[in-house]
Structure 1
Amino acid sequence: MYANSRPVSSAQPGPHPRLAEMVQRHLRHPYRRPVSTDAQARFDQLAQQLRGDPRPLVLDAGCGTGASSLILARRHAQALVVGVDKSAARLATGQRLLARAGAPQNVCLLRLDLVDFWLLAARAGWCFQHQYLLYPNPWPKPEHVQRRWAAHPVLPALLACGGALELRSNWEIYAREWGEALQLAGRRWHIDCFDETADAAALSPFEAKYRDSGHRLWRVRAEAAAR
């Protein structure tokens, strides 16, 4: 069935008690994980494709089928939206969506692990106008906290890629952790529980399903940092 998503359940009553410790450690010691030659080749191919394109870049992190990338492309019509996902099957669906009549043409889909992408983009000096994190990604078990973006070692690379940041989720704790991580990194941020009927349409299929399942939806936004 469609609108049958269960709310996120976790043993955590609030943000992880070690979140600040982990974020501060990651900020002091940038992630040095090597990337594969295949990942480097895929990134280099995209970099070559974008070379000389004057349009600002918008990142759709974990774009899945690319449905959200198309929505963002219409929202940011003067930019080029880069949708990144590691699933070839989901991106194949996205390519079919892009091939339909009337689909926006300012979209580029890339198959790559997001951690590799942020590491490579930061090393290459890329700067996005906006970064959207719309995939749920809560990993609700306390022992999995470092799999959430707020506590992940890739956080400094993500932040180095710049731009205004927007995360959306149906789990308040995940949203609050993201806000706390931004604050520890010196970024000003705002969190709100928003009503799509009065505010804005869903940006991703996940978000639409959560909304239609009666979940509260949380949004954390941070303006671009001064450079």
Structure 2
Amino acid sequence: MIEGNSRSITSNQVGINDDLDKVVTKHLTSEFKKPYAPYSLAGFEEIKTKVNAFLLDNPDGKLILDSCCGVGESTYHLAINNPDMLVIGIDKSEHRIDKSEHHFQQKVNNFILIRGDLNDLWRLIAEAHWPIAHHYILYPNPWPKGKHLPRRWHGAPVFKYIPLLSEKLTVRSNWDIYINEFAQALTHVNVTAIVTEYASDNAMTPFERKYWASGQKSTELNVEF
């Protein structure tokens, strides 16, 4: 039984950050010059090898990208539910990736788990033009303090690469302000997202399970590019 002991997010923001539009515009009109981390480059080469092999065997095959995958439980469920696709799970924490096998109940062969910095890997994957049908960002770190807006994905320089990655995008959070900000950021690239409350009988991640057991709600963004 999962205990509901997850605290709700607290923030000095009461709505969308006043600086959001300014920050997003700045990043969209500036070049992102951050050097690639060596472990991200190594991880990308590992992904590329497996993606190329998959596409060689499945010329019309599609991929799913699971960013901020944590221990990979969501990656595992996405792989089970999409057996004809290759699912790529990425998280920056080697510790979480190493714990992944404890969350798999059966053997599944159509997914990859990689440690990497998404600031690097999103750029590399976008430049590779892989056929990614769906991109999931489930419960990213909300960085709820107002001054930390640039640490949220929609307030970061790498944001402009997100619309280039996939045909569809799903973002889910237990902080509705995060989702509403993400939706507003997307309007700067002429994309309109659908924002709804999300609920299911089956949680996809340990965080999701814990939030729901604590009585917290999830808000979801969905968009097609």
Same fold by TM-score greater than 0.5: yes
Q: TM-score, normalised by structure 1?
A: 0.90
Shift of 1:47: 0.5
1:58-207 residue pairs with structure 2 within 5 A? 58-95=64-101, 97=103, 102-197=106-201, 201-207=202-208
Secondary structure class of the residue paired with 1:126: coil
Q: 1:49 to 1:196 in 2, by over 3 A?
A: closer
Inter-partner Cα distance in structure 2 for 1:150 and 1:80:
26
Confirm whether residue 15 of structure 1 aligns to residue 5 of structure 2: no
Do the aligned residues in 2 keep the contact of 1:97 with 1:103 (CA within 8 Å)?
no
User: Following TM superposition, where does structure 1 have runs of at least 4 consecutive aligned residues deviating by more than 6 angstroms?
Assistant: none
Counterpart of 1:27 in structure 2 is 28
Inter-partner Cα distance in structure 1 for 2:165 and 2:124:
10
Larger mean CA deviation between 120-129 and 185-194 belongs to 120-129
Shift of 1:222: 0.4
Secondary structure class of the residue paired with 2:157: coil
Secondary structure class of the residue paired with 1:8: coil
Counterpart of 1:51 in structure 2 is 52
Deviations 1:59-118 (A, max 9, x none): 1101111111111112222211100012222111224555x6x33211111111111111
Q: 1:174 to 1:80 in 2, by over 3 A?
A: same
Do the aligned residues in 2 keep the contact of 1:43 with 1:120 (CA within 8 Å)?
yes
Inter-partner Cα distance in structure 1 for 2:131 and 2:192:
18
Q: 1:135 to 1:194 in 2, by over 3 A?
A: closer
Q: 1:136 to 1:37 in 2, by over 3 A?
A: closer
Counterpart of 2:58 in structure 1 is none
Do the aligned residues in 1 keep the contact of 2:37 with 2:117 (CA within 8 Å)?
no
Amino acid at match of 1:56: K
Amino acid at match of 2:176: E
Deviations 1:163-208 (A, max 9, x none): 21001111010010011111221112100113324xxx22211111
Inter-partner Cα distance in structure 2 for 1:140 and 1:178:
13
How many residues were matched structurally? 219
CA-atom RMSD in angstroms: 1.7
Inter-partner Cα distance in structure 2 for 1:118 and 1:195:
28
Q: TM-score, normalised by structure 2?
A: 0.91
Inter-partner Cα distance in structure 2 for 1:21 and 1:171:
22
Do the aligned residues in 1 keep the contact of 2:173 with 2:179 (CA within 8 Å)?
yes
Deviations 1:13-57 (A, max 9, x none): 101011011111211224221103332122112212221423311
Inter-partner Cα distance in structure 2 for 1:115 and 1:222:
21
Do the aligned residues in 2 keep the contact of 1:58 with 1:82 (CA within 8 Å)?
yes
**Structure 1 residue ranges without an equivalent (≥5):** none
